[in-house]
Amino acid sequence: MINLNRYKVLTFDCYGTLIDWESGILAALKPLLSTYGHNLNDEHILQLYAEFEAEIQKGEYITYKEVLRRVAQKFSEYFGFTLASQELYSLADSIKYWSPFPDTVEALKSLKQNFKLAIISNVDDNLFAFSAQHLKVEFDWIITAEQVKSYKPSLNNFRVAIERIDLPLDQILHVACSIYHDIVPAQSLGISTLWVNRRAGKEGIGANLPVVAQPDLEVPDLHTLAVLTTRAGDEG
């Protein structure tokens, strides 16, 4: 167990950690694929999504809206059908409706009492603005892919966050659901990591590429983190 009292800042991945992006992805893509006669199971859709998105994000920087347009296009090319222009943007347009996990908002409110909070997210500023309304907590720093012109797992996103936060690394704890996008790069820079294993008890790895790492701490949800930090504060 790590000493949670030593941290002053919690940095968060947003989509998958705070926002239920897999439900959002499936709600957008399942009916789209079904329209063209492809009724895939959830795991197959999420696996393809992870592969397509990662491939696109490794290239020259483009906005996340464009990333998602190209993801939709890759689905259509993979299964051999053509999407209309409006359909190509349906995935990106759906982000405004993606909801937080049931425990997210109350946990953030609790954590805000003892920590400064930051977002490090692979998203555009205007798209995150929709999610920020759902999260209902004011973050002290917001670092988006649009601002830094790169996508996690690029170390650039974390280096910019470290520079802006301007505190010793041992006072920062990065909280994320993705080993691939977050835990591995954060650890490589000496940042402590907490893995929110949102898929505990589920089959497959969802919308993430398979990599292996050992986070400093693992919890199943943010409620557990909030309880642990409250307990650490009472004991410390």
Read off the DSSP letter of residue 101.
P
Q: Provide the whole-model pTM.
A: 0.95
> How many C-beta atoms lie closer than 10 Å to residue 169's C-beta?
12
- 109: closest CA among 142, 136, 140, 134? 136
Residue 236: is its pLDDT beyond 60?
A: no
Single-letter amino acid code for the residue at 67: V
**Whole-Å CA distances, 192 to 158, 168, 175, 179, 189:** 12, 11, 9, 13, 9
Nearest to 208 by CA among 179, 186, 187, 184: 179
pLDDT for res 101? 98
DSSP letter at 100? Answer: B
DSSP 22: H
pLDDT in tens, 40-58: 999 999 999 999 999 999 9
pLDDT in tens, 160-197: 999 999 999 999 999 999 999 999 999 999 999 999 99
Q: Give the burial string for 45-78 (b: 16+ CB within 10 Å, else e).
A: bbbbbbebbbebbeeeeebbbebbbbbbbbbbee
- Could you tell me the pLDDT band of residue 235, with boundaries at 50, 70 and 90? low
Does 232 have pLDDT greater than 80?
no
Helix (H) or strand (E) holding 59: none
pLDDT of residue 130: 97
Q: Is the pLDDT of residue 77 over 90?
A: yes
The CA dihedral of 18, 23, 24, 29, to the nearest 10 degrees, is 150
pLDDT > 90: what percent of the chain? 89
Contacts 24+ apart (CB under 8 A), 161-167: 161/11, 161/118, 161/120, 162/189, 162/191, 165/9, 165/11, 165/116, 165/118, 165/141, 167/8, 167/9
Strand order through the sheet with 9-12: 141-144, 116-121, 9-12, 172-176, 192-196, 217-219
With 80 as the cut, is the pLDDT of residue 233 above it?
no
Q: What is the pLDDT of residue 225?
A: 96
CA distance 218 to 233: 19
Active site residues: 13
Looking up tokens 């591995």, which residue turns up? 184
| Per-residue pLDDT tens over the stretch 88-109 | 999 999 999 999 999 999 999 9
